[in-house]
Amino acid sequence: MKVTNESQNVHALLNVAVVGHTNTGKTSLIRTMLRSTQFGEIEDAAGTTRHVERATIYAGNEAILNLHDTPGIEDAHALQKQLKTISARNSSQSTAEVLEEFVASISIDDPLEQEAKVIRQVLRSDVLLYIIDVREPVLEKYLIEIEILSKAMKPIIPVFNFIAEHTEELATWRKKLAAFNIHASLEFDTVAFSFEAEKRLYQKIQSLVELHYDKLQKLINHRAKVWDQLCLSAAKRIADLIVSVACHRESKHSQSDNTVNTAAQKLKDFVRKAEQRCLQDLLAIFNFSEKDIALQKIPVSNGQWQIDLFAPGVLKAYGLDVGSAALKGAAAGAGIDLMVGGLSLGAASAFGAIAGTGWSTFKRYGKEIKAKIQGTQWLCADENTLQILFLRQQQLLSKLMHRGHAAYHIDQINTVTASATEKLPSDWSSMISTLQQNPAWQKPSAARNQNPLYQAIETKLINTLLGNG
């Protein structure tokens, strides 16, 4: 992304002007399309953007189009009056020529200087995106703006912003625009992001500017590929978290309470840190930072989990009411009684089990068998803990995939619940049991990654996270 002022020669590419009244979300739209929180300035106040800024969108290394962020039109009535005065002096002028004369007549510090900046960029652009905040009533000034912009004889695509929970208002706006014979509108919420909505935006532009059709198709294909890769990378990162935690073990001696407590605390610390690292990686994958993330319905603020995985009530919040354990949060861990060849290595049958395992099994589990005989046991994260861990990441991934880079508000949520959209993979218990019996899978290796059983588990985790399972 490159950001410049309006003075540079940008005529070689498709030029798209983002226009509209002040504070409707013009800069927000560009941030979302750029996947960046760094473009422009966003405040909950009118007139934040004072100059035209440009950002270039690429498909790989190839520049495809320029987005121009324009100031808001603040005095549509005065602008309309001035244009009527110019038109009355020369009735033979086209509407576009009237706009050209208006721009040429405005000097620095003129009350309509800001409007002139907008019109100047409109005349230089190929397509106009008119941003509408549907929460606002359909006032006369907005209709005047659309009428004025139409004088430039450029294709206009109304973009409805902040549409969540405003269905009736959206219908009103559509009806009003139909009176101007404008029907090719688009719903694009810059806060509640949808990749499909972004794709449709490019397709609508594509239908209006045939000359740039192929380049826009290249951009659509590139963006789709990148988006799929982002989502897959995030799902793989979460699968790696589940695997690493499920395979992790802390050793304890069966005859010492101190080692049991120490192992349990170490296990909790390991799980907390592993989840926090995963959170940071997911933010980075989607180009969010600790400064601008604040997720609705997810106990995350400023890049930190706000509700501890082991906090009281977490089990119950996720529908895991398991008696008194529900009041204690996720369990510290569960003891592992290593299964080899279908036989439990309990103290009474340890030697018998070893005798029947065969050399290949002993080679694989030799150290653990020896430790077991010597009275060592292991703690691992129990199934409830892993279930909550998975559901939390599933919620987080869904939120990141639908969060626009213009979202800057903070929704402080103090409780967390699993929604109906989150689900566990089929054969969840069997998968967890398999992972717990293969501690060597905790870290990536050629042997692990090529193991068909591991591959099946990873694939099922990923497909469930992406809604493909």
pLDDT digits (tens, 9 = 90+) for 318-346: 766 554 343 344 444 555 544 333 333 33
Q: Which residues contact 331 (CB under 8 A, 6 or more apart)?
A: 325, 382, 384, 385
Q: Where are the alpha helices (DSSP H) in 110-256?
A: 113-124, 140-150, 167-178, 195-208, 213-247
Mean local confidence (pLDDT), 163-181: 84
pLDDT at position 344 is 37
Q: Decide if pLDDT at 194 tops 90.
A: no
**Residue 462 vs residue 91, higher pLDDT:** 462
Determine the longest span between alpha carbons in the chain, in angstroms.
107
Token couple for 203: 């397709």
Q: Decide if pLDDT at 44 tops 90.
A: no
pLDDT at position 57 is 92
Q: Decide if pLDDT at 47 tops 50.
A: no
pLDDT at position 308 is 79
pLDDT at position 320 is 66
Instruction: Quick: pLDDT tens for 77-121.
Output: 999 999 999 999 988 899 999 999 999 999 888 999 999 999 999
Cα gap 449→431, rounded to integer Å: 16
pLDDT at position 119 is 94
Please state, in angstroms and as integers, the Cα–Cα distance from residue 108 to each residue in 117, 295, 316, following that order: 11, 43, 64
Cα gap 230→401, rounded to integer Å: 9
pLDDT at position 50 is 58
Kindly report the pTM of this predicted structure. Answer: 0.76
Please check whether residue 117 is in contact with residue 70, taking contact to mean a CB–CB distance below 8 angstroms. Answer: yes
When pLDDT is cut at 50, 70 and 90, the band that residue 389 belongs to is very high
Please check whether residue 439 is in contact with residue 246, taking contact to mean a CB–CB distance below 8 angstroms. Answer: no
160: nearest Cα among 200, 120, 124:
200
Cα gap 122→368, rounded to integer Å: 73
**Residue 418 vs residue 309, higher pLDDT:** 309
Q: Decide if pLDDT at 199 tops 70.
A: yes
When pLDDT is cut at 50, 70 and 90, the band that residue 374 belongs to is low
pLDDT at position 281 is 94
Cα gap 318→386, rounded to integer Å: 12
Q: Decide if pLDDT at 39 tops 90.
A: no
Residues of the chain with CATH 3.40.50.300: 3-208
CATH class label, 3-208? alpha beta
The tally of CA atoms less than 13 A away on the side-chain side of residue 108 is 0
Burial class (CB in 10 A: 0-12, 13-18, 19+), 306: middle
What whole-number percentage of the chain has pLDDT above 90? 38
Token couple for 283: 């933010």
When pLDDT is cut at 50, 70 and 90, the band that residue 348 belongs to is very low
Cα–chain center distance at 290? 14
**Residue 18 vs residue 408, higher pLDDT:** 18
Mean local confidence (pLDDT), 63-68: 93
